[in-house]
Amino acid sequence: MGQGMPFRPGTFDGCISISALQWLCNADKRSHSPPKRLYTFFSTLYSSLARGSRAVFQLYPENSEQLQLITSQAMRAGFTGGMVVDYPNSSKAKKFFLCLFAGGTGVLPKGLGSETSDRTVGNQVQYSGQRCRFNNMKGKSAKKGRDWIMEKKERRRRQGKEVRPDTKYTGRQRRPHF
């Protein structure tokens, strides 16, 4: 990626990348220069994209300096756009997206988990911060109760795993001993 994209100009209408872009910031050899590698990648990508197309990169930057370096090299190559962060206040769910536009300007999407993302927008999915249970589970039992426990025990027995003996609360009904 850091040596450029070997495609003809205007070949693609879009580009999606997941967790690849941040690796251009590593300098494994003396000849590796992260700013140069990023600029080479973004400039050749810019030329291989058709005008008006988009590129979206999900990445996990190590720090804010790395984020700034990636964004500045993309803008230097001719892209417009910026960074969108999903769940900015979460340490586990936080995701960074670099949304770029080639040959035009566009509107950046709103990040999930922020206060402004709860508004209803015409053709976007409405997200909420709450989990919901599915009422129609299409034949599957809920993860509670005696039936679920029995299904799990039978499954583990078929797999040849050790299973605790059934009791009067969870397992096979035993006949009373008189």
* Mean pLDDT of the chain, nearest integer: 78
Exposure string over 30-47, b if 16+ CB within 10 A, otherwise e: eeeebeebbbbbbbbbbb
Q: Output 138 or 146, whichever has higher pLDDT.
A: 146
Give me the residues paired with residue 49 across strands: 12
The top-level CATH class assigned to 12-112 is: alpha beta
pLDDT digits (tens, 9 = 90+) for 15-57: 999 988 888 888 777 777 889 999 999 999 999 999 889 999 9
- Give the helix/strand (H/E) hosting 99: strand 95-101
Beginning with the edge strand found earlier in the chain, give each strand of the sheet holding 49-59 in spatial order.
12-18, 49-59, 95-101, 80-86
Q: Which two tokens stand for residue 176?
A: 């009373």
Q: Is the pTM of this model over 0.75?
A: no
Residues constituting the chain: 178
Instruction: State percent of the chain over pLDDT 90.
Output: 25
Q: Which two tokens stand for residue 59?
A: 């990445």
In whole angstroms, how far apart are CA 37 and each of 26, 43, 67, 74, 170? 10, 10, 15, 11, 61
How do the domains of the chain map onto residue ranges?
Answer: 12-112
